[in-house]
Amino acid sequence: NAGVTQTPKFQVLKTGQSMTLQCAQDMNHEYMSWYRQDPGMGLRLIHYSVGAGITDQGEVPNGYNVSRSTTEDFPLRLLSAAPSQTSVYFCASRPSLAKNIQYFGAGTRLSVL
């Protein structure tokens, strides 16, 4: 029972580089989200998706792109990494019937130098 799987667990980038954080869930959940957590802060929503082909912006979307071509996968793309994007990134999913309870992955710790 894998749940929500995020890869990689750790990543170091140089300013200006691009990369994709992967998120996959095997629970057939319709809703998926990306959050970031900065030191001493709560989690903040970046982007979310309510189903394949449908995405929307959260609280802090700038500098990130997402797409949802399948129910299982919801990758997060950093177009041109900046030091301000140094953070821990969490992917979450939930079924449509569990209105508010999200299931989180273990996170990706990203450092941008």
Partner 1 sequence: DQQVKQNSPSLSVQEGRISILNCDYTNSMFDYFLWYKKYPAEGPTFLISISSIKDKNEDGRFTVFLNKSAKHLSLHIVPSQPGDSAVYFCAAKEEGGSEKLVFGKGTKLTVNP
Tokens matching residue 82: 């900046």
Nearest C-alpha neighbor of 84 from the set 32, 29, 25, 41: 41
CB-nearer residue toward partner 1: 64 or 90: 90
- Nearest distance, CB of residue 74 and partner 1, angstroms: 12
| Chain positions contacting partner 1, by CB under 8 A | 4, 31, 33, 40-45, 48, 50, 56, 58-59, 90, 92, 99-107
- Nearest distance, CB of residue 31 and partner 1, angstroms: 6
CB-nearer residue toward partner 1: 17 or 106: 106
Nearest C-alpha neighbor of 68 from the set 23, 100, 109, 98: 23
CB-nearer residue toward partner 1: 13 or 91: 91
Contact 88, 11 (CB under 8 A): no
DSSP bridge pairs for 73: 24
- Which H or E run includes 49? strand 43-51
- Nearest distance, CB of residue 100 and partner 1, angstroms: 5
Nearest C-alpha neighbor of 22 from the set 44, 9, 6: 6
CB-nearer residue toward partner 1: 10 or 14: 10
- Nearest distance, CB of residue 55 and partner 1, angstroms: 11
